[in-house]
Amino acid sequence: MSGGVDSSVAALLLKQQGAAIVGAYMKNWINEDNVVGDCPWQRDIEDARAVCDRLGIEFRVVNLMRDYRERVVAYLLDGYARGLTPNPDIMCNREIKFGVFRAWAKENGFGAVATGHYAQRLEVTPGAYALHEGADPNKDQSYFLALLSQTQLADARFPIGHLAKPALRQLAREAGLPTAEKKDSQGICFIGEVKMADFLRAYVPDAPGPIVRASDGHTLGEHHGLHFYTLGQRRGIRIPSNTDHAAYVVVGKRASDRALLVAFDHPDAPGLFQREVRVHSLSWIGEPIATPRAIEGRVRYRDPRVPLEFLPERGGTARITFPTPQRGLASGQILAFYDGPRLLGGGVYA
């Protein structure tokens, strides 16, 4: 339980179904290094405890700070330091919620871990499960579960996956839950309202370099570090656009001189759109795809599913081709694979 309304209603529904449940807050981060931003872990614990009191269930706080730092924060900082664009939310789900927290739950006698994700778990054959998108297309969070395994999914429960957000808030109001009107968190997974740039500024040293126009090699300015930028980014470059052109957009990073490559934001901007990519670290919920196959993919959260051709390669990688070029596919981010609304798995852009 995060202290938000989604996990609160997940607990409410399980209680109404007669399940024997305990509410648990994962303490992953307490802003001990005074990172700029709001890290309201104490308030979130109080809210989660108040919901449990309202539901008449036990509440526990589980300290996973060391595991979170080792498995999520280290991955995040290392990725950005190497010029990648990591996804801490996806890694938090695989390594923490359904990793060390799931292990803790099983060691303490629990049979499953339920969360407030907008996703739907279906039993396709006895003991085998599929993961489908949440019923609310505006809130679907299946993308963030793209690296889960079948074993992890077997121990997962998503009680609110069939609900739309307005209906969920109405259930919270009717039950008198103290989180019914609480705003959704927009921060890093279980850290809070911390902007990524502020988080990186606190832990990754500045590494200045030139901002270079990709079309002609002209230097336009200087940046404080490539880790503050990702492919396709338009805001925060701080280079004024020519009145006759669109704004600048990031189209690449050059490690040799730490150059940030930019171009005017047009469909023909060099490097901005890609028709072919490679992915590695493939993860499958069910059977791996071993032969070329036409499926769908979500190239990033909030983007619609798009058709693609999946071509497996030796060494656990795959070549992906898109009929329609895709914008800003950044190395280190996650491509989620789908068969219609069914999530198949995911991979990491090379």
- Domains along the chain with CATH numbers: 5-116+159-198 (3.40.50.620), 206-264 (2.30.30.280), 273-349 (2.40.30.10)
Mean pLDDT of the 328-341 span: 97
Q: Which tens digits make up the pLDDT trace of 61-76?
A: 999 999 999 999 999 9
pLDDT at 23: 98
On the CB side of 161, CA atoms within 13 Å amount to 19
Of the pLDDT bands very low, low, confident and very high (cuts 50, 70, 90), residue 242 is low
Q: Percent of the chain, pLDDT > 70?
A: 93
Of the pLDDT bands very low, low, confident and very high (cuts 50, 70, 90), residue 245 is low
Q: Which tens digits make up the pLDDT trace of 120-176?
A: 999 999 999 999 999 999 999 999 999 999 999 999 999 999 999 999 999 999 999
Q: pTM for the whole thing? A: 0.91
**Mind giving me the DSSP string for 58-113?**
-EEEEE-HHHHIIIIIHHHHHHHHTT----HHHHIIIIIIIIIHHHHHHHTT-S-E
State in Å, rounded, how far the first CA of the chain is from the last one: 34
Of the pLDDT bands very low, low, confident and very high (cuts 50, 70, 90), residue 236 is confident
Q: Which tens digits make up the pLDDT trace of 176-196?
A: 999 999 998 765 655 555 677
Three-class DSSP category at 188: strand
Label the pairing between strands 59-63 and 23-27.
Answer: parallel
Total number of residues shown for the chain: 350
**Of 40-44, 83-87, 254-258, the least confident:** 40-44
Report the C-alpha gap between 57 and 49 in whole angstroms: 9
pLDDT at 325: 97
Residue 156 makes CB contacts below 8 A (sequence gap 6+) with: 98, 102, 112, 113, 114, 115, 121, 148
Report the C-alpha gap between 350 and 282 in whole angstroms: 11
The more confident residue out of 42 and 269 is 269
The more confident residue out of 93 and 36 is 93
Contact call for residues 327 and 273 (beta carbons, < 8 A): yes
pLDDT at 174: 98
The mean of the pLDDT values for the chain is 92
Residues labelled catalytic: 92, 189
